[in-house]
Structure 1
Amino acid sequence: MATLLHVKTSLFGENGQSAQLAKSFVDKWKVENPGAVVIERDLAKDPAPHLDAFRVTALNTPSEARDAEQAAVVEYADALLAEVKAADTLVIGLPMYNFNIPSQLKSWFDHLARAGVTFQYTEQGPVGMIEDKPVYLVATRGGLYAEQGQDFQVDFVKQFLGFIGLKDTRVVLAEGLAMDSHRDLSLEKARAAFQ
């Protein structure tokens, strides 16, 4: 049975442009995969904690040496990772805030990036350990950045995902959404990608 992981990050919930476009993707995917499972991870409503010294230490402490609090941190990170591994496809709603990704998404990434678990260092450089699968990035932004050399959103996410093994990233971009001259056409083009 096919499984989709839908990662939500819009601070505006279902009213966010990235959320609405990602929902269009999910709806189409469900029609194409009847009876499939959709896992939702809403990082705006239920954010992953930001890393601090305690969490980093817990994630790097050998299992036999962890205390109960450290074990709880690892259990939480393992649950996030299990959702990624269980999915055949991922879709990530990816709004741009202040030139970059939502901090909640960065915190989720920080719980996924674990040496010896999701990546390893080799003589040839780092190698991702998560089995590759399609990841759709539904990226939205108010301004125009793609052609300006100022895309610190999509490029960063693609680099991170590739680092842990998810290299099959596919981008649906809607930009200029705060500009009357671009908004409607940009949204129309993004929606067309799901038809």
Structure 2
Amino acid sequence: MKVWHIDSSARNEQSQSKRLTKKFVDTLAQKTTIESDVLDVSAGLPFLNDLMVGSYFTPDEHRTDEQKAVLEPSNRIVESAKESDVWVMGVPVYNFFAPASFKAFIDLLCRAKETFYYSENGPVGLLENKKVFVVIASGGTQIGSEQDFLTPWLTHCLNFVGVKDVQFINADQYTPEKEEAINQQIEAMTSELAK
């Protein structure tokens, strides 16, 4: 099983989302054989710009060296997305939404003719048969509340590229008292995956 482990918190040792995605992957690895591909988007990803967007719509055989180079970060993300069976994402809530680095990740993932295409009946996602587990960590924003702009947006984006099996691990309004419930959720999810 190929697991794509994606983190986005700007914090390191103090990050709840990073700690919990690691716990998820480590727990899964105790139950079945996995190959893990790690991406920490907080290290920095390029934001969309005119050169990048123009390169997307230029056929590969006509791309300049500059265009090919600017597409490399997106190409790596798209390749990992296609090759991985399970995605484990850690996303903290910053100012009611995902970190800017995670939005950049989604912008590089959503590529016409690579991860989706438009048909006569609308968009069709190309990343089918993936299972995605998302740890959402927050200090104040409650998942499912009127202030939760993150989970509906992320669910829509993943559905858009064909990922329909999306499950959330809610470390929202995190306190140590919630740890047991989170651990039980991770245990149940990884046991189901390992079947």
1:155 aligns with 2:129: no
TM-score, length basis structure 2:
0.90
Counterpart position of 2:81: 84
Q: Secondary structure at the match of 2:4?
A: strand
Counterpart position of 2:26: 27
Counterpart position of 2:40: 42
Equivalent residues of 2:143, 2:151 under 8 A apart = no
* Percent pairwise identity: 33
Counterpart position of 1:189: 181
Q: Secondary structure at the match of 2:9?
A: coil
Deviation of the 1:164 alpha carbon: 0.5
Equivalent residues of 2:51, 2:70 under 8 A apart = no
Q: Secondary structure at the match of 1:189?
A: helix
- In structure 2, what is the Cα distance between the partners aligned to 1:147 and 1:127? 27
Q: Secondary structure at the match of 1:13?
A: coil
- In structure 2, what is the Cα distance between the partners aligned to 1:174 and 1:77? 29
In structure 2, runs of 5+ residues without a counterpart are 188-195
Deviation of the 1:136 alpha carbon: 0.1
1:135 aligns with 2:136: no
Equivalent residues of 1:173, 1:190 under 8 A apart = yes
Deviation of the 1:6 alpha carbon: 0.1
Q: Secondary structure at the match of 1:15?
A: coil
Deviation of the 1:168 alpha carbon: 0.5
* Coordinate RMSD, CA, aligned: 1.4
Q: Which runs of 4+ in 1 moved over 4 A?
A: none
Counterpart position of 2:70: 73
- In structure 2, what is the Cα distance between the partners aligned to 1:84 and 1:166? 10
- In structure 2, what is the Cα distance between the partners aligned to 1:151 and 1:78? 30
- In structure 2, what is the Cα distance between the partners aligned to 1:143 and 1:165? 31
Change (3 A) 1:61 1:159: same
Worse overlay, 142-151 or 96-105:
142-151
Code of the residue aligned with 1:16 in structure 2: it is S
Deviations 1:90-149 (A, max 9, x none): 100010001001111111111111112111112222110112311000001111433432
- In structure 1, what is the Cα distance between the partners aligned to 2:144 and 2:28? 30
TM-score, length basis structure 1:
0.90
**Greater percentage in helix:** 2
